[in-house]
Chains A and B, each alone.
Chain A
Amino acid sequence: MIDRQHVRNFSIIAHIDHGKSTLADRFIQICGGLSEREMEEQVLDSMDLERERGITIKAQSVSLEYKARNGETYQLNLIDTPGHVDFSYEVSRSLAACEGALLVVDAAQGVEAQSVANCYTAIEQGLEVMPVLNKIDLPAAEPERVIHEIEEIIGIEAGDAVRVSAKTGEGVVDLLESLINKIPAPEGNPGASLRALIVDSWFDNYVGVISLVRVVDGRLGRREKIRIMSTGRNFQVEKLGVFSPKPVGRDFLQAGDVGFVIAGIKDIEGAPVGDTITRADQPVSEPLPGFMMVQPRVFAGLFPVSSDDYENLREALQKLRLNDAALHYEPETSTALGFGFRCGFLGMLHMEIVQERLEREYDLDLITTAPTVIYEVLTALGETLQIDNPASLPPANQIEEIREPIIEANILVPQDYLGAVITLCVEKRGVQKNMQYLGSQVSLSYELPMSEIVLDFFDRLKSVSRGYASFDYHFVRFQAAPLVKLDILINTERVDALSVIVHRDVAQSRGRALAAKMKELIPRQMYEVAIQAAIGSQIIARTNVKAMRKNVTAKCYGGDVTRKRKLLEKQKAGKKRMKQFGKVEIPQAAFLAVLRVDND
């Protein structure tokens, strides 16, 4: 057993693509955690989807033994962090388990907003942040400029940043040496009562919930009775150990250690991320700081294209939920789309990931409604309602006030694109809070309605800055605004799944644009389709899709029906993503039309 002075707990902070996973793989290789044969590329990102998108969704961790140049052996606990704006809470919990963090910056691309936000979180929590320049083997690498940028933007000393190439392995051993010197050993009292932080939890079909924990104080042993502090429920530890990266059983974990615990917990809510584990027989009075229940912020309806798939969708959501405490869902009935689920997500990326997994892993064809944020509605009767679905907004005369969620966005943008980004923020009803020139980049801080972020802010930001702007956001408060519900009527009937809540000032233009977009997206069919946009009973825009003139195959001779069948099947396949609304077939794209009206 390695003594506490030889333990180092650290995370890697990096923007997507800046090489976090490759670097982690190098560490594992150097420390001999896996044999060559076992060394599958990028061990830490284990889900297919993560590997494809280069995003870590669930934090994972690895404990490695490193024999340093001074002849002593150190235990390096690398705690992985999710790499996206939607998962900032999970990031903060991962960082809370560490004494230090490596800030990995692409030496060619420079600092990005995502890294800045995570870096500040690390500094706030008192971590030692070590800048690392990666990809120095690239011809486009500009280490001097990037060092300057780190110092200007993040405000930490970067002159002695270690220069590495995770890809070639250059400088990686130097980095490990520097790490054991700079990052302090964990503190904490092994003799005190047990306090362990739950860094991550996931569900395993055989053993139930596995939690990754950082023991802060005390000692956690096998067969001991533990208590999850937020729920007050007790469990018995069945198995614990460390990931090397293969799981290796231990008899106990003590203050400073990072490892896994299995305690017969049957569902993921039984061991929430950020919660504190203590001993059932000698509980501490105060949990570790920073715990909160994660709140979904973005909502959308998911409906099976075929109503026969409803139960399959429910089962699939149940299974995803086992591993994803942030995913919320409850049954929703739409007059247009039938039975489905209203799902809550942390953000847009989280939503996309869930959708993609449902379609890919569970083979479901889904219709998704436009994502919306949660609104607070004060009714005339003085009640406060939480509205996560525009269709369930009460009639205007029963509403005293609608409050929308406001977020603070931190944007980093090269000076050349500053004007375009400011124009975008103003268009999105943003209020500037701060602006700072940092070398060639500008750091902007804006308060923006979250509904605008959910629409298309991220895509627009990328396009007006040619991909150079990066941003990060967090929820600030609910704030009253003059909001109205915009309805879409198809053949004079309101389609509940197409309603959106918009600011009164843009309602007219949004309504016209939405009707025009719908006209573009709804294909010609057997009947003329009338499209209207309305606020309350007032029609603000109308258009129509003309009926197609005919749809019949002219020629069918020679006894060959296979070609004709193929044609019909192709047509049927085209209808797969359409939902019948009365006599009208509405394609999936139309339900997301609101996301696209501003783009053209």
Chain B
Amino acid sequence: MFHFTAPPPLSLYVHIPWCVRKCPYCDFNSHELCGAIPEQAYVDALIADLEQDLPRVWGRTVETVFIGGGTPSLFSPAAISRLLSELRARLPLKPAAEITLEANPGTVDQERFRGFREAGINRLSIGIQSFERSLLQRIGRIHDDREALGAVRAAQQAGFDNINLDLMFSLPGQTLDQALEDLHTALDLRPAHISWYELTIEPNTWFHRHPPERPSDELSWNMHEQGRRTLAAGGYTRYEVSAYSRGQNLCRHNLNYWRFGDYLGIGAGAHAKITDAGQQSVTRITKTRHPRAYLEQAADRCRIASENRLDANDVTLEFALNALRLDHGFSVEEFCAATGLPFSATAKPVNAALEQGLLQNNNGNIGTTARGQRYLNEVLQYWLTDTQAHARTGKP
């Protein structure tokens, strides 16, 4: 079925599952902290987990590392430092590999940032969400506007030049002016990267059970359109649905997801996708979700919550689901290299969407049109085959 000549590039994701408080919109695997973080034990568990996974990626170089959460900045610089040296001792990291840490205002100061930098972190992703005090309160953040600004400045003063700011729009009660004002504040800080995404109410969140009053579709669309223009005018180029970079400061770790690269995932509830060019297989793995269970099981097979081999249909769908998020789209060669499949495996949905004017072909690069970008979920329907739809309903 698959024919990989070489596996795609490899990244490493490390999950830190604790937060000071769970945000009402968050459906990630995060747990409110009670008492002290078992830092030492967790780093030990991560390393034990990684050691079990090593045979899956023997001899491969890691291009990027992303320490996400939760709130990884709750970990001390010393713990992060130990984590990174243990990783380096076991995995060949590419020289100048991008190593990102997620940080939340209210948990950091300049000294802490300096510590992270000394530990080897070279990119920060700061969860600002908004600079408007009342909105921050409404979405349950622990920080206020002053702390948000302070966190960014502290990071910059600590020497970080590759910083992403996470911002949201379409927040409960947000006006168009407020949304644009957030962007202007962010632009003034000149971060390398801005992730600007619409608040989505996910199942299994507090907001899903207690839906807040949201801006209308109309208003939210206006925020989106004017916000894009504001970012562009400020020198930030959009390269993915919600990702904007100043110059060439794209997030290489996320790019690897969107290009359907491989990634190891260690930590509670972490996800991995690994290609085995020897076995000609693509496997998805998830780890035990709950931190306590994970701490107990990290050294044995039980840490694996699920392990699934993908078939050709899964791979073509998941490739499209990721690659079409990029403005650039994908080339035939990129498809073949990342999926191990001939282009014919995805030609039917591609052609159908081309015909509808939802995709375009720019000299062999297949990407969304403006319309396709706007209705990406509709575009992706072409990749959901009837057999997949039937499998779900249990039909033959």
Number of A-B contacts defined by CB within 8 Å: 97
CB-defined interface of A484-526 with B at 8 Å, one 1/0 digit per residue?
Answer: 0000000000000000000000000000000000000000011
Contacts of B321 in A (CB 8 A): 556, 561, 564-565, 568
Most chain B CB atoms below 10 A, which of A308, A525, A551, A573: A551
Are B389's CB and A554's CB within 8 A? no
Determine how close the nearest CB of chain A comes to the CB of B210; give it in whole angstroms: 20
> Quick check: is A572 within 8 A (CB to CB) of the other chain?
yes
Point out the residue from B271, B381, B386 that lies within 8 Å of A568, measured CB to CB: B381
> Quick check: is A37 within 8 A (CB to CB) of the other chain?
no
Contacts of B197 in A (CB 8 A): 554-555
Q: Which of B111-119, B134-142, B367-375 contacts A (4 or more CB under 8 A)?
A: B367-375
Contacts of B221 in A (CB 8 A): 549-550
Point out the residue from B200, B373, B393 that lies within 8 Å of A553, measured CB to CB: B200
> Quick check: is B241 within 8 A (CB to CB) of the other chain?
yes
> Quick check: is B322 within 8 A (CB to CB) of the other chain?
yes
Contacts of A568 in B (CB 8 A): 321, 377, 380-381, 384
CA separation between A562 and B314, bound complex, in Å? 11
> Quick check: is A433 within 8 A (CB to CB) of the other chain?
no
Contacts of B272 in A (CB 8 A): 559
Are B377's CB and A571's CB within 8 A? yes
Are A551's CB and B377's CB within 8 A? yes
Range of interface residues on chain B?
A: 35 or more
> Quick check: is B263 within 8 A (CB to CB) of the other chain?
yes
> Quick check: is A319 within 8 A (CB to CB) of the other chain?
no
CA separation between A306 and B220, bound complex, in Å? 36
Are A573's CB and B318's CB within 8 A? no
**Chain B minimum-CB-distance residue to A560:** B271
Contacts of B13 in A (CB 8 A): 558-559
CB-defined interface of B1-41 with A at 8 Å, one 1/0 digit per residue?
Answer: 00000000000010000000000000110000000000000
Are B322's CB and A569's CB within 8 A? no
Contacts of B395 in A (CB 8 A): 363
Most chain B CB atoms below 10 A, which of A306, A525, A572: A572
> Quick check: is A481 within 8 A (CB to CB) of the other chain?
no
Contacts of B28 in A (CB 8 A): 558
Determine how close the nearest CB of chain A comes to the CB of B11; give it in whole angstroms: 9
> Quick check: is B180 within 8 A (CB to CB) of the other chain?
no
**Chain A minimum-CB-distance residue to B368:** A552
> Quick check: is B154 within 8 A (CB to CB) of the other chain?
no
Determine how close the nearest CB of chain B comes to the CB of A579; give it in whole angstroms: 15
Determine how close the nearest CB of chain A comes to the CB of B335; give it in whole angstroms: 16
Contacts of A526 in B (CB 8 A): 371, 375, 378
Q: In chain A, residues 528-577, which have Cβ atoms closer than 8 Å to a Cβ of chain B? A: 548-565, 567-569, 571-573, 575-576
Contacts of A562 in B (CB 8 A): 284
Determine how close the nearest CB of chain B comes to the CB of A42; give it in whole angstroms: 30
Contacts of B388 in A (CB 8 A): 569
Are B378's CB and A551's CB within 8 A? yes
Contacts of A558 in B (CB 8 A): 13, 28, 68, 271
> Quick check: is B177 within 8 A (CB to CB) of the other chain?
no
Determine how close the nearest CB of chain B comes to the CB of A564; give it in whole angstroms: 6
> Quick check: is B317 within 8 A (CB to CB) of the other chain?
yes
Are A565's CB and B271's CB within 8 A? no
Are A572's CB and B375's CB within 8 A? no
With contacts A549-B217, A569-B389, A573-B389 taken as known, whether A555 is within 8 angstroms of B242 at the C-beta atoms is yes
CB-defined interface of B297-334 with A at 8 Å, one 1/0 digit per residue?
Answer: 00000000000000000000110011001000000000
Q: In chain B, residues 157-181, which have Cβ atoms closer than 8 Å to a Cβ of chain A? A: none
With contacts A567-B377, A572-B389 taken as known, whether A557 is within 8 angstroms of B254 at the C-beta atoms is yes
Are B376's CB and A559's CB within 8 A? no
Determine how close the nearest CB of chain B comes to the CB of A304; give it in whole angstroms: 12
Are A565's CB and B325's CB within 8 A? no
Determine how close the nearest CB of chain A comes to the CB of B349; give it in whole angstroms: 12
Determine how close the nearest CB of chain A comes to the CB of B38; give it in whole angstroms: 22
Contacts of A569 in B (CB 8 A): 384, 388-389, 392
Contacts of B376 in A (CB 8 A): 551-553
With contacts A559-B13, A559-B273, A569-B392 taken as known, whether A552 is within 8 angstroms of B375 at the C-beta atoms is yes
CA separation between A306 and B317, bound complex, in Å? 21
Most chain A CB atoms below 10 A, which of B27, B200, B380: B380
> Quick check: is B238 within 8 A (CB to CB) of the other chain?
no
Contacts of A306 in B (CB 8 A): 386
CA separation between A558 and B198, bound complex, in Å? 17
Are B257's CB and A557's CB within 8 A? yes
Determine how close the nearest CB of chain A comes to the CB of B224; give it in whole angstroms: 7
Are A552's CB and B374's CB within 8 A? yes
Are A556's CB and B377's CB within 8 A? no
CB-defined interface of B268-286 with A at 8 Å, one 1/0 digit per residue?
Answer: 0011110000000000101
**Chain B minimum-CB-distance residue to A549:** B221
Q: In chain B, residues 222-247, which have Cβ atoms closer than 8 Å to a Cβ of chain A? A: 224, 241-242
CA separation between A203 and B353, bound complex, in Å? 49
Are A553's CB and B241's CB within 8 A? yes
CA separation between A583 and B371, bound complex, in Å? 14
> Quick check: is B127 within 8 A (CB to CB) of the other chain?
no
Are A554's CB and B318's CB within 8 A? no
Are A554's CB and B254's CB within 8 A? no
**Chain A minimum-CB-distance residue to B308:** A562
CA separation between A325 and B381, bound complex, in Å? 42
Contacts of A551 in B (CB 8 A): 374-378
**Chain A minimum-CB-distance residue to B394:** A363
Point out the residue from B200, B218, B220, B318 that lies within 8 Å of A565, measured CB to CB: B318
CA separation between A552 and B324, bound complex, in Å? 11
CA separation between A572 and B257, bound complex, in Å? 24
With contacts A526-B375, A526-B378 taken as known, whether A554 is within 8 angstroms of B241 at the C-beta atoms is yes
> Quick check: is B72 within 8 A (CB to CB) of the other chain?
no
- Extra inter-chain contacts (12) besides given A553-B200, A557-B254, A561-B321, CB under 8 Å: A308-B386, A526-B371, A526-B375, A551-B376, A554-B242, A556-B241, A559-B257, A559-B270, A559-B273, A565-B321, A569-B384, A572-B381
Question: Which A-B residue pairs are the 9 nearest by beta carbons?
Answer: A549-B221, A554-B197, A552-B376, A559-B271, A554-B198, A551-B377, A550-B374, A560-B271, A572-B384
Cross-chain pairs A/B with CB under 8 angstroms, 24 sampled: A363-B395, A548-B375, A549-B221, A550-B221, A550-B375, A553-B377, A554-B197, A554-B199, A554-B241, A556-B257, A557-B257, A558-B13, A558-B68, A558-B271, A559-B13, A559-B270, A559-B273, A563-B202, A565-B321, A568-B381, A572-B381, A572-B389, A573-B392, A583-B356
